Structure 1
Amino acid sequence: MLELAILGFLHERPLHGYDLRGRVAALTGHVRPIADGTLYPAIKRMEAKGWLERKTQPGSAAAPRHMLHLRPAGEQELLRRLREPEELDVSDENRWFVLLAFLRHLRDPEAQAGVLRRRLAFLELPSSFFYEDGRPVRAENVDDPFRQGLLTIARATSEAELHWLRTTLTDLGG
């Protein structure tokens, strides 16, 4: 998820590490805060793979700043991850949101539709946070008001996303 966010933001424009951290935090920070001890090692790993490069830029004060740029290999990796997301990228809501934030960079509408169809298929499976006799429990069958709230909110969110997915697939021609 972190690597995809880094690749996606750098595809849009070169950024300083501090600016990149802010953008990643805005996208994922409410779920998983991004610490320097997480971000900068990821950047170094991605540099070692040839996906990113640092270019020194004069600083506004005395110290030079490092600008991060996406290399062609990084763009290829970004497009591969968007075109062929892992199963967790489709099923985990937080990872899905990161993928969705950059899916526009996959310029082929049919490829975009293929990713959306995978999410749609996942959401159309009967599911719940709670099961009874192997069947999903529905909110109206729960006495606990907190579990009922959880199930009600989850259903409303899923219904909204299903509507959006179907509409977008129609718009994409898929």
Structure 2
Amino acid sequence: MLDLATLGFLYEEPLHGYELRTRIARLTGHVRAISHGTLYPAIKRMEKAGLLVRESQPGAAAAPRHMLSLTDQGRQTLLELLRKPDDPFITDENRWFTLLAFLRHLPDPGAQADVLRRRLTFLQEPSSFFYSGDRPLSSKDVDDPFRRGVLTIARATSEAELAWLHETIADLADLSAR
């Protein structure tokens, strides 16, 4: 998730590390706090892999700032991550939202629709947070008002996402047909 967010934000514009960390935290911070000890080793790893470059620029005070920007290889890596995301980016809601934040950078509407169809397929599989044996439980099956709340909220969220997915896939099909 950190790599995708880093590449996605740098695809949009060069940023210094602090601004990059702030943007990632705003996108994913409610799920996973982004510390300096997490981000800067990832930046060094991506720099070593040739995905981004770091250039020193004079800072507003005394210390220079390190501006980060993507290389062509970094841009291609981002597009590949968007085109063929690993399963957790389809099945895990937090990773899914990170993927969605940058899916617009994939230039082919057909490829965008393919990613959305994978999520649609996943959401259409029967599932629940709670089971009785192998049988998924619905809110009608649960006496606990708090677990019923989890199931009710999840169902409403899924219904909204399914409607959005169907609408957006249709819109992307129209764009691909042009």
TM-score normalised to structure 2 length = 0.96
Distance in 1 (alpha carbons) for counterparts of 2:143 and 2:9: 45
What corresponds to 1:15 in structure 2?
Answer: 15
Matched position secondary structure for 2:56: strand
Question: Residue 160 in 1 paired to residue 175 in 2?
Answer: no
Secondary structure class of the residue paired with 1:67: strand
Please state if 1:139 is matched with 2:139.
yes
User: Runs in 1 of length 4+ with deviation above 3 angstroms?
Assistant: none
The residue aligned with 1:31 is: 31
2:97 and 2:150 map into 1 onto residues whose CA distance is: 20
Letter in 2 for 1:130: F
Return 5+ residue gaps in structure 2 as ranges: none
Instruction: Report deviation, 1:75.
Output: 0.4
The CA distance in 2 between the partners of 1:136 and 1:143, in whole Å, is 15
Distance 1:58 1:37 in 2: 24
Whole-Å separation in 2 of the counterparts to 1:138 and 1:23 = 37
Instruction: Identify unmatched segments of 5+ residues in structure 1.
Output: none
Aligned amino acid, residue 58 of structure 1? P
Q: CA RMSD in A?
A: 0.8
Q: Match of 1:129? A: 129
Amino acid at match of 2:91: S
CA offset digits 1:79-114 (Å, max 9, x no partner):
000000001110000000000000000010000000
Q: Cα distance, 1:22 vs. partner?
A: 0.3
Q: Tell me how far 1:133 sits from its aligned partner.
A: 3.3
Aligned twin of 2:73: 73
State the identity as a percent.
67
